[in-house]
Structure 1
């Protein structure tokens, strides 16, 4: 395993670092002010400016390994770039068109969509002209077990009819969101992993009702396009809107979530690095009990432990990226689960210590720390809760030692 950055990665890292320093970080307070005074779900004017600048610099669709659609980078090449965008998670990922849930939806369409589906929906997403939502989680069932999903997708001639309720449908509150990818059951009597299918549902289809936007620890999480609760009542779409074949929804979801999980973990490394940088700056500047915080033993322990934890998590993420590139997502399944358990917990710990170092300012709107913590804590639930990943990982480990 060689984790050294190649020439192309170094070039992109340099360009992305300059973009963050010259444009993204200065735009953070502007974005916050614009978001506070406008529609909380709409994109701010300054974000549009950042996207234009990113495209001009060639920093666009870095996440897609297929050169037909994206930059053609491997997971190992993309990891340090995603880490950098994680330093400003509410602006940088979308500025370079690498923000969830669109990234996962674009990957899904690129891999499983028909030619017509790719032309109609993937191409506008790649251009950043529209946004999309992924509708999987439901309020009435424990959606950590995807086989629980109750939404029904029923074939009726040349159409599918969808009935059900979804929530935490990321991206759906954005006014520019035009397409929902909806997962539901087409055959409740089939094998439990062959009951589900996915269909494309345009937002303006009759019977689609966006009930409300969900808040995350009090934040709208508008950067992810907001998370919606949505009713689907006798919603009819053409049979051609089916993604893949009937009964493949569960497998497609797992294929989508693998890259999504590692992308989150890549960005979490950057979030933790930003928090540690802020803590160190605070420790050098703030005086308490007659001396700088940097001279307080407990603060030094936080800083040292933060560095150790970040480096450990980064190495595990890089190993996982390398495995995904060399043996495929299936071969890296154990490591994907491991990073999904370890990285959010690491980042949550580091950000928590930075908040403690800032005191009251750490929980206020005057630093990015509170928003970073809220996003990090949420990722211990998103894409599967810790407990599900621990259980699955343990079963895989136990199988190795069966007599």
Structure 2
């Protein structure tokens, strides 16, 4: 993994809580070489295939789904009832929570769309609101909610069920502290199971959380008391499980720190573990069947940056390098960059999705070497 220090210097304060629910940062994502499952959302008025039937373990769900923009949108409330998933609403934040960690989704409706967070990390995919009902993309349920779904074109039915167990159970651990002008809430995953690498993975993830806390407290001490009594120091650490099968566990962490002033800041990290050994897997290992993958990836990212016109410096991006920040999903993998690394704050965390099929010879299994 590309190591990124969580230190956020005084000269690069980035984001206020007014703009962001701490730790739930929405990345700006380009869909490069992706499937329709990750197609960009469009306005709810776009023509859609309606009356798509939904089943859970073979039994009909009370409300239908619909298809639009290359994705299938599943009704949240009806799914929760059929699958026995918890669905709660927080009046303070205006957010819904579907399911429990590590397959927890956070949902926030706005202007006909639904913002979605997985665990403590915001997603680029959005849901829809139609007729007062919230819908989430099937691709999100597959990737982050522990749900499998199969589309039957002949019957226009989506068959849903709980994803098969991988033999790894994930619990949430926390480092919390609230005192005076300080609020600390850092969450990280702890694994259990028979895989030989679990102890090493747990040690790495715990160390990451503790390092963030230590850095935050050191900077807080350096800053001294806040001038405004209405402000408080804040450390919020979130994570999502992006992939957990084929012998690979992919974890995304986001560390948000606020030290007063106009902005706080978020640092994102991607951990991709071989569960047999506990060692981290490099992107080059997954794409080993294509010795020229970096040139292909660089070219597409450079073209997308140019199209967006978001670079701080013209032609500022050259290459992802030998150790880029990335994580694996059901659809392929995502390469990301930090705030201000190449783009202004408003660009968020620039992220670029790729499919393995777009870069590897036909029939290649990227996980074969694990």
Q: Is the pair's TM-score, using the shorter chain for normalization, greater than 0.5?
A: no
Give the number of the structure with larger relative contact order, counting CA–CA contacts within 8 Å between residues 6 or more apart.
2
Greater per-residue helix proportion: 1
Q: TM-score, normalised by structure 1?
A: 0.24
Q: TM-score, normalised by structure 2?
A: 0.25
